[in-house]
Amino acid sequence: MTTHICPITETSLEEAKQILLRGGTVAFPTETVYGLGADARSDEAVRSIYAIKGRPSDNPLIVHVHKDYALNSLVFDDMPYAKKLRDAFLPGPLTLVYRSKGAVSKIVSCGLDTLAVRVPQHEGAQRFLRYVDLPVAAPSANRSKHISPVTAQHVYGDLAGSVPLILDGGACSGGIESTVCDVTGPYPVILREGLVTREQIERVAGRCDVYHSREGEQVRSPGMKYKHYAPHCRTVLFAPDELERAVSYFSDREKNGERVLALCEHAVLQNFPKGKALDLGKNGEEFAANLYVLLHEAEERCDELIAVEPAERGGVMAGVLNRLRKACGAKQ
């Protein structure tokens, strides 16, 4: 199969619609990462997403809809705080997990009685979802366990030959995946941290917990139990107070003749040789926006990436550190 990267125009949107109606897949941009979309109502189409990604069959998918889509045709929207969250954050990088009405393929939710729904705010995503006017099941458009794509070229790098059309909406501004929040209980529970923070949700809903699975317990967001987001190069991660160790580790590796790069926040960049450190930026939002771009760059340019955690905590850092730690494996 040939893979075309196309700007978002009437012609490419019509092509996207025809592909989806035939049970095929289309990659599209959102403000978080690119998604690999298929018609959520079709078992066969949804199955092909799992096949293309090599995704475990017990990891459910998010359904994407445009902002005027009738949510109550898909889910039971019975928690008053959920409406408040929608008014405050949607369209945007927040996915809400509701009790499902069973209107889409059971394979989307892997047999769970819930359904995750997201209304992205990216203009290209809205145009695409409005044009096709379908519930679009879409995971991130990468092979399972690889880093999520934040440009059309990243999608192409991972999925060329497996997807006929990549709608190119430029680089994703947010940079890490949406916050996934369960709204089936008496108060919201975050299943995956992301760009909408626990503090922001708490302010709107009065209370918000973050779910952490305990050993032996059935996980509530199956995706979180898998190793994720890893670049192809080797990686090590140092805590902010281990900068000195990171610097000497870096120079030891370099002396050994290895191709190494550092990944760190702007404030400590000058500790590494010029041109050998990737700049994550100056605050949480910048770290999020830059993280996957730089991880993709690292795997092209080095054999080992030596990452130092930014020192900032709170807010979007929960999501940033979750992704950075998953990408860079265990701490050194």
Q: Tell which positions 72-101 bind ligand TXA, by CB under 6 A.
A: 95, 97
The reply to whether 165 sits near ligand TXA by the rule CB under 6 A is no
Which position among 61, 307, 308, 327 is part of the footprint of ligand TXA (CB under 6 A)?
61
The count of other CB atoms within 10 Å of the CB of residue 129 is 27
> Of these partners, ligand TXA, Mg ion, none, which one is at the site of residue 178 (CB under 5 to 8 Å by kind)?
ligand TXA
> Of these partners, Mg ion, ligand TXA, none, which one is at the site of residue 62 (CB under 5 to 8 Å by kind)?
ligand TXA
Q: Which is nearer to ligand TXA, 181 or 260 (CB)?
A: 181
In angstroms, the CA 272 to CA 251 distance is: 9
The reply to whether 25 sits near ligand TXA by the rule CB under 6 A is no
C-beta of residue 192 within 8 angstroms of C-beta of residue 223:
yes
The reply to whether 177 sits near ligand TXA by the rule CB under 6 A is yes
Smallest gap, in angstroms, from Cβ of residue 112 to ligand TXA?
5
C-beta of residue 44 within 8 angstroms of C-beta of residue 23:
yes
Smallest gap, in angstroms, from Cβ of residue 30 to ligand TXA?
5
The count of other CB atoms within 10 Å of the CB of residue 118 is 26
Joined tokens for residue 18: 């025809």
The reply to whether 32 sits near ligand TXA by the rule CB under 6 A is yes
The reply to whether 60 sits near ligand TXA by the rule CB under 6 A is yes
Smallest gap, in angstroms, from Cβ of residue 276 to Mg ion?
29
The reply to whether 153 sits near ligand TXA by the rule CB under 6 A is no
Residues 6+ apart with CB under 8 A from 260: 250, 253, 254, 276, 302, 303, 304, 305, 306
For 115, phi then psi, to 5°, come to -140, 130
> Of these partners, ligand TXA, Mg ion, none, which one is at the site of residue 95 (CB under 5 to 8 Å by kind)?
ligand TXA
The CA distances from residue 312 to 145, 231, 287, 294, in Å, are 27, 23, 10, 19
User: Residues 245-267, buried b or exposed e (16+ Cβ, 10 A)?
Assistant: ebbebbeebeeeeeebbbbbbee
The reply to whether 112 sits near ligand TXA by the rule CB under 6 A is yes
Find the residue with minimal CB distance to ligand TXA. 223
> Of these partners, ligand TXA, Mg ion, none, which one is at the site of residue 146 (CB under 5 to 8 Å by kind)?
none
Residues 6+ apart with CB under 8 A from 327: 147, 228, 229, 230, 231, 235, 291, 295
In angstroms, the CA 248 to CA 270 distance is: 14
Question: Residue count at the site for ligand TXA (CB under 6 A)?
Answer: 29
Smallest gap, in angstroms, from Cβ of residue 148 to ligand TXA?
7
User: Residues 301-322, buried b or exposed e (16+ Cβ, 10 A)?
Assistant: ebebbbbbbbebeebbbbbbbb
In angstroms, the CA 194 to CA 230 distance is: 17
Q: Tell which positions 271-330 bind ligand TXA, by CB under 6 A.
A: none
Smallest gap, in angstroms, from Cβ of residue 270 to ligand TXA?
33
The reply to whether 66 sits near ligand TXA by the rule CB under 6 A is no
Q: Which is nearer to ligand TXA, 118 or 127 (CB)?
A: 118
Q: List the end-to-end C-alpha distance of the chain, in Å, as a whole number.
A: 42
Stretch that binds ligand TXA, among 78-86, 106-114, 276-284, 296-304 (CB under 6 A): 106-114
Which position among 119, 152, 163, 180 is part of the footprint of ligand TXA (CB under 6 A)?
180
Give me the residues that bind ligand TXA (CB under 6 A), please: 30, 32-33, 35, 59-62, 95, 97, 109, 112, 114-116, 118, 138-140, 177-178, 180, 191-192, 220-224
